[in-house]
């Protein structure tokens, strides 16, 4: 009993602080771009190889231009291809200072692209995302933008903006005969197209928040009207004209 | 009467003990957190010698040695002296010979000391070169190592502010803050590390992983995990003698200070 009392007495004065874990606040980090290694997607045919190279270029440009990523040059890589079904050897990739690794495979079937890709966290040695995408062969640029968006969103948390287009009014010609044309362009400067021929004034284009449509004000035949242009069926020129009552 | 006294004594002890234990619990609560003021207590010897004074002293001793080298070097004897004509001269020459012998011994000893000093200087210069090659962050490490040598550390002793700062500085390079993520300043990620005696991370675990469904929290958490697994931060710069203190460490990654 006396022993117990002594024990309790000592216990009360025992420094419990030695059991407390060390806690350190890390409040300062850096804002450097995240180094990412992007491999060309594995492909069999020559055509697929070319498309794979193009897609790789577009993804690299997109991520690099965002300012949040730095795409590592290929000369740093030990392996230029990784079998899609296999895990990469992360130790090799750690040496390159890469924190993210993108690789995949590309197939062409009946003029359709079939792309599968994976994004790996090299330092945590975990797969961050894996997706399969299919599209028309001519639409490879769009799919590259979509892949860029997925990578961007997964790493930064913000939704990507690469698969977006810009509608604007292009001005040309002398002051006395100024031409204002409605034009559309991809965010990376590709696929530039004029939507009106410049024979009449076009102003204030606005994208539809939901559909692939653009609303703009036109002075065709000197009457101000709002037109709704469907971008998907642009070739068929499916305009919808508003009456004065609509305005 | 005695029973009552004993009861009150133990009750008081219990309350004191409870308070001591409770005080540790309050530490996690920010309301009771005491802001630490960076202050290092250093034992001062009876005679204080600053670094500059030390250097001056070293320089002075070196100069003296160099002078001695030049001044006390006996001239080389080209031909042997003639046999002594007088007994007094004999004595004088004997004394001279003894002197020369002593000088030679002194010279030998000085040469040895010189060699040792030179080798130490070489070592130092090599170390300095290495340090120049590395980043400035390594400077506090050297200090830490020196501190390790000087001080004997008891179990459970806390890390000093400078030691904690060394770890913070280490993570500055490794942690890429996801600056683009929305409302990231509202989140804080705590990672529990288990370290081996060399300071290498054996395992890491996110403690507050309940918000992992939130994409921005997940982004922050993943960036923190990447920092912990970064090759430059895989081995923490911690004083080896205080292993008991840092063998389990919790790192709180808080971007709010940086973003504000």
Q: For A44-53, A109-118, B140-149, B162-171, which range has the lowest pLDDT when averaged over its residues?
A: B140-149
- Residues of chain B in contact with residue A155, where contact means CB-CB under 8 angstroms, are 178, 219, 222
With CA atoms as reference, the chain B residue closest to A94 would be B231
Model confidence over B110-157: pLDDT tens digits?
Answer: 776 676 556 556 655 654 454 444 444 434 444 444 444 444 445 446
| Domain covering A34-156 assigned CATH 3.40.630.40 in the classification | no
pLDDT for the residue B70: 55
Among the partner residues B184, B244, B252, nearest to A25 by beta-carbon distance: B252
Determine, for residues A12 and B226 on separate chains, whether the beta-carbon distance falls below 8 Å: no
Among the partner residues A17, A22, A153, nearest to B246 by beta-carbon distance: A22
CA B138 to chain A, closest CA, distance in angstroms equals: 17
Residue A152: count other Cβ atoms within 10 Å of its Cβ.
22
With a CB cutoff of 8 Å and minimum separation 6, the contacts of A139 are A113
Mean pLDDT of A99-121: 93
Question: What is the per-residue DSSP string for chain A?
Answer: -HHHHHHHHHHHTS-GGGGSPEEEEE---B-PPEEEEEPPPB-SSHHHHHHHHHHHHHHHHHHHHHSSEEEPPGGG-S-S---TTSPP-HHHHHHTT-SEEEEEEEEEETTEEEEEEEEEETTTTEEEEEEEEEEEGGGHHHHHHHHHHHHHHHHHSSPP-SS-EEEEEEEES-STT-EEEEEEEETTS-S-EESS-SSS-EEEEEE-SSSSEEEEEE-GGG--EEEEEESTTGGGT-EEEPPTTT-
Q: Where in chain A are the domains?
A: 34-156, 165-246
For chain B, percent of residues with pLDDT exceeding 70: 57
Best of A8, A14, A29, A126 to disrupt the B interface (most B CBs within 10 Å) is A29
Q: What's the whole-model pTM score?
A: 0.64
């Amino acid at each position: 009993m006396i022993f117990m009392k002594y024990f309790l007495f000592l216990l009360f004065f025992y420094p419990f602080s030695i059991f407390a874990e060390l806690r350190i606040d890390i409040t300062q980090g850096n804002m450097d771009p995240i180094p990412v290694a992007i491999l060309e997607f594995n492909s069999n045919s020559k055509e697929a190889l070319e498309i794979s190279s193009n897609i790789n270029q577009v993804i690299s440009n997109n991520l690099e231009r965002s300012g949040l990523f730095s795409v590592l040059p290929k000369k740093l890589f030990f392996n230029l291809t990784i079998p899609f079904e296999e895990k990469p050897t992360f130790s090799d990739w750690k040496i390159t200072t890469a924190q993210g690794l993108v690789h995949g495979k590309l197939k062409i079937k009946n003029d359709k692209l079939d792309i599968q890709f994976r994004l790996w966290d090299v330092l945590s040695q975990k797969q961050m995302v894996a997706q399969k995408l299919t599209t028309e062969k001519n639409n490879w640029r769009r799919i590259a933008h979509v892949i860029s968006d997925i990578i961007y969103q997964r790493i930064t948390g913000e939704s990507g903006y690469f698969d977006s287009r810009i509608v604007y009014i292009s001005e040309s010609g002398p002051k006395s005969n100024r031409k204002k044309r409605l034009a559309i362009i991809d965010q990376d400067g590709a696929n530039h197209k004029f939507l009106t021929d410049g024979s009449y004034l076009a102003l204030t284009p606005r994208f539809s928040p939901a559909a692939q449509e653009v609303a703009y004000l036109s002075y065709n035949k000197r009457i101000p009207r709002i037109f709704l242009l469907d971008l998907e069926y642009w070739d068929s020129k499916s305009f919808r004209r508003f009456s004065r009552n609509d305005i | 009467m005695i029973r009552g006294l004993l009861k009150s004594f133990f009750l008081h002890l219990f309350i004191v003990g409870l308070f001591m234990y409770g005080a540790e619990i309050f530490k996690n609560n920010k309301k009771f957190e005491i802001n630490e003021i960076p202050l290092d207590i250093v034992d001062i010897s009876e005679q204080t010698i600053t670094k500059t004074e030390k250097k001056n002293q070293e320089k002075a001793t070196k100069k003296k040695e160099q002078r001695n080298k030049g001044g006390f070097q006996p001239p080389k004897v080209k031909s042997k002296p003639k046999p002594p004509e007088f007994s007094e001269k004999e004595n004088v020459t004997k004394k001279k010979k003894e002197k020369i012998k002593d000088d030679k011994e002194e010279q030998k000893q000085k040469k040895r000391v010189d060699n040792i000093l030179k080798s130490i200087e070489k070592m130092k210069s090599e170390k300095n070169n290495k340090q120049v090659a590395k980043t400035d962050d390594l400077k506090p490490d050297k200090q830490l190592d020196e501190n390790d040598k000087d001080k004997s550390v008891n179990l459970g002793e806390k890390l000093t502010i400078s030691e904690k700062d060394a770890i913070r500085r280490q993570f500055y390079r490794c942690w890429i803050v996801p600056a683009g993520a929305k409302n990231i300043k509202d989140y804080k990620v705590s990672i529990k590390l288990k370290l081996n005696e060399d300071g290498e991370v054996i395992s890491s675990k996110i403690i507050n992983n309940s918000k992992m469904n939130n994409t921005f929290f997940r982004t922050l958490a993943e960036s923190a995990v990447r920092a912990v697994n970064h090759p430059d931060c895989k081995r923490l710069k911690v004083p080896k003698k205080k292993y008991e203190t840092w063998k389990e460490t919790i790192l709180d990654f808080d971007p709010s200070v940086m973003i504000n």
